[in-house]
Structure formats: C-alpha cells, structure tokens
Structure 1
C-alpha cells in the first residue's frame, strides 16, 4: 500500500518510518525492508530514506535493512548522552551510535538528527556532533524541540537562528557530508537534496533515474534563510 501510494502521489523521494515494534519477533524488520523493496519495484525514479528504530542493535536486523538498499539509512539520536535516558527511555545512546556505525560499515549513506531545547548545553551539542561524525554519520539535521502536548517535556529554551547557523558551520567543519540546521527544519525536510549532495561529496555516481532529486529547490527552513545569510 505504501509503494502504491508513493506511485499515486508521484513522489520523487520518500522518507519512510514507523514506531518501534518490540512486540514482534523480528521487531518489524521485514516490514521496513519489504516496504523499501516494493517502493523501488513500483517507482524506479523514487529515492527512499528509511528512518529506523535501533532494532535492539542486532547485526542481523540491521543487515536486513541494509540489504533492502534504501538510498539513506537513518537513525535519530535526538539528544545528548546526559539526558538521553530521560528523553528516550527505551533506547541507549551508545547503541544508537552503533546502529549508525553498522550502516556506515555496510556502505550506506547514513543520517541522524539532534533536537535542541530539551536541557542540553552548547558544549554537549558539540560533543554529540563529534560522536555522530566519529560513528560514521554522513548527514545531520539540527532542529528545535516543540512540545507536542502539556504531558510532554517542557521546552527548555528557544534556540536563536544564529546559533543554528553556527552549529551548521561547526558540523560542516567536522566533515559531515550534508547538514541542515534551523528551528523549522525536520529530519525529512529536503532529504533528497541532502542525499544527492552526500553522493557527490563521496564521489559516488547518482543513478540516472534519480538525478532529478539533486535540483529540489531552496531550503527555506534553514537558519541561513531566516537570518538573511
């Protein structure tokens, strides 16, 4: 159904994700992988970014995801080590880094994100970016935390566009192949363009069927656009 919906909407690039399914024996791995395969089967001109849970960090689970050949292998770390357990109680920081490393070692274009405004410090953000880069993360999105409901964690601070711009520059200096940073950025925003840029920087050829993704317009949500840089 997802593959046919992608076809009906004529999507050039699709980001696919879902909830963690610890209740299933394979934690939902087959469904994630099969969705990628079906999208590619019915949409040869569509790129697929797969945003996965950690699948308990099991190598066989992560290999099954890699074997389905998404254009981007994404797993969101979201926050820094000190507050990670409070923000993401079902996950572990080091295991999340290990998921990214596994994808990197399998030759995937890897991606993660950091969400700011949940109680982290500026130095902790820098440390987390270094951790992600050392883990093999190619693409990084940095965004502002927005409180979904009053039952969720309150916003600790509203990060200014200038700080997002500084963090983008810092991440680029670390060596990330693509960075998108801004209060309105989300991990799926302009995802295809980030992938295409990473392919170029890594010296990889973009398949002819997906060459159109490279020219996907301006990124108006980025901090640089908001402050007129």
Structure 2
C-alpha cells in the first residue's frame, strides 16, 4: 500500500487582509480614464489588492512599455508573452493622465525589457520629461527593473532627475532561484548603491510569505541599510492565481511592525511595513515623509 505525502494545511486569509471592494463613480472614472488613454497600470496587471482604494482616490501606478514582460518571476501576475513594440506617444499619454487625475506625485514603473539595448531607460527618461513638462510642480517616482546591471542605462534614468528611484529586491537571496530566477540579488543591491552614489533618493521593497524566515528578512534589511537605502517597503505576498506559488505564511501585523523597528534601528530613515503595503501604495505619503528636511521646511 502506497503512502501518500501529507498535504499542506490550507491557509485562510486572515481578517487584516480582507479588502472591501468599493463600487463608486470615482473608481469607474479612473478605470475609464486609463482605458481612454490606452495606458496600462500595474494596479490592474498585477492584480494589486489596493487597486480599488487607489482608483477611488484618483491614483494609479502607470506601467509603461507594454503589459508583457521578458521575465517570468514566480510571484508576478504580469504576462511573459511576446513583448510589444515601444509606443513613442506613451510618455505624453502618461503625462496627460497624471494631469487629468490631478496628481501631485506620479509613480511610473514598467515591465522588464531585456530585449532592449538600454532596458527601456530612454523610455523612462522620456516619460519623466513629459510629466515634468506637463506638471512641473509634481514629484516623480520611478520603479525600475535591474537594467541587467548596465551602469550607462541607469545613468540615463538618473540624468532624467526623478525625485525617487525605486528598485525592489523582492525576496531574500536564498529564494531567488525559485522566486526570481532571472535576476541577481547582488546586482539589485549594486543598482541601489549607484543610485545613492549619484545623490538620488533610493527606495526598495520586498514581500514576505514566500518561504523566507524572519532572520532572512532582517538580513535583507541589513543589506539595504549598508547601502544607505532611504525608503524600504515590506508587504505580504498575496497569490494572484492558482498558477502562482502558494502563500507559505501570513505574517501578523505585529511582526511587520517589528521589521519596521529593526530597520529604523539599523539607520533606515523611512520604513513602511504592513500587510497591505506595496511599493507604490500611498507613495505620495511616503515621498512626503521621505522628502529632505530643507524641502519640507520650505513648504
């Protein structure tokens, strides 16, 4: 008689992760605006649990360079079908959307485009310029891929002068083979270090619930503190579909606060750690809090 491998216990979504889905005119208007301007948002493509709240608040994180990716990270819901040709008019449409939404802080991210010689750096720069020209008083945050570690490509983004450059390490290095197999942890840290060396504000983030331990999370925080990362976000991994890795654990809000306290004790200026925190969730608030003191005093 064959013995069966015991199945893993089913993890119920805890109450602190149950999101109410609003249905109102503001949410619909934001959805229609994105559709009207033929834009993609990471909110929709990645099935972000905060999408309904953000769209209701007239905010969205713009996803440029198409909605298909050259990589296949295990946690991500974005398709890795054949990528699209770059749309030269997209930067202007992002700027128009930001204007119509009345944004004071614009977050721009992208799929990973390893097929492009510059990884899409020039398209990022064009989008930053378009938003600056349209909304000169608006702050801009970009969440960029690793650009395959190319220093010249990163410099193109830096020279466009966004207010914050974000690049997520996503998970501790021991889990890259399973979760982020086409990326390199040290390469991501080097990118963030170069951002700081150039005098820019740096930001990074990771998810928990993918099999990592609290000790490994603290190890990532140590690494980010060592390169003087300005802003760190930590949130709960939520399985986008049955095709994605199962959630290994739901981390209690108290543990998220412990992560934040640990990061602050290591010198990270701005720690945002909670179950529903995402890289771009409440990014305007994060940017406000993380703004240089001289800017805050001037305002």
TM-score range, shorter chain: 0.7 to 0.9
Q: For the residues of structure 2 that align with 1:206 and 1:22, how far apart are their CA atoms? A: 38
Q: Root-mean-square deviation (CA), in Å?
A: 1.4
Q: For the residues of structure 2 that align with 1:83 and 1:33, how far apart are their CA atoms? A: 32
**Which residues of 2 match residues 38-187 of structure 1 at below 5 A?**
38-187=130-279
Indicate if the aligned counterparts of 2:228 and 2:268 stay in contact, CA closer than 8 A: no
The corresponding residue for 2:282 is 190
Give the superposition deviation at 1:195. 2.1
Give the superposition deviation at 1:207. 9.5
Indicate if the aligned counterparts of 1:75 and 1:112 stay in contact, CA closer than 8 A: yes
The corresponding residue for 2:108 is 16
**Other structure's SS at 1:113 match:** strand
Which has the higher Rg, Structure 1 or Structure 2? Answer: 2
**Other structure's SS at 2:141 match:** strand
Indicate if the aligned counterparts of 1:109 and 1:195 stay in contact, CA closer than 8 A: no
TM-score of the aligned structures, taking structure 1 as reference length: 0.87
**Other structure's SS at 1:176 match:** coil
**Other structure's SS at 2:110 match:** coil
Higher helix share: 1
Indicate if the aligned counterparts of 1:117 and 1:155 stay in contact, CA closer than 8 A: yes
Provide structure 2 residue ranges, at least 5 long, that are not aligned to the other structure.
1-92
The corresponding residue for 2:40 is none
Give the superposition deviation at 1:98. 0.5
For the pair 1:7 / 2:91, whether they are aligned, the reply is no
Q: For the residues of structure 1 that align with 2:128 and 2:166, how far apart are their CA atoms? A: 13
Q: Does the C-alpha gap of structure 1 residues 186 and 35 become closer, same or farther in structure 2, counting only changes over 3 Å?
A: same
Q: For the residues of structure 2 that align with 1:197 and 1:112, how far apart are their CA atoms? A: 16
**Other structure's SS at 1:205 match:** helix
Q: For the residues of structure 2 that align with 1:48 and 1:184, how far apart are their CA atoms? A: 22
Indicate if the aligned counterparts of 1:179 and 1:194 stay in contact, CA closer than 8 A: no
Provide structure 1 residue ranges, at least 5 long, that are not aligned to the other structure.
212-229
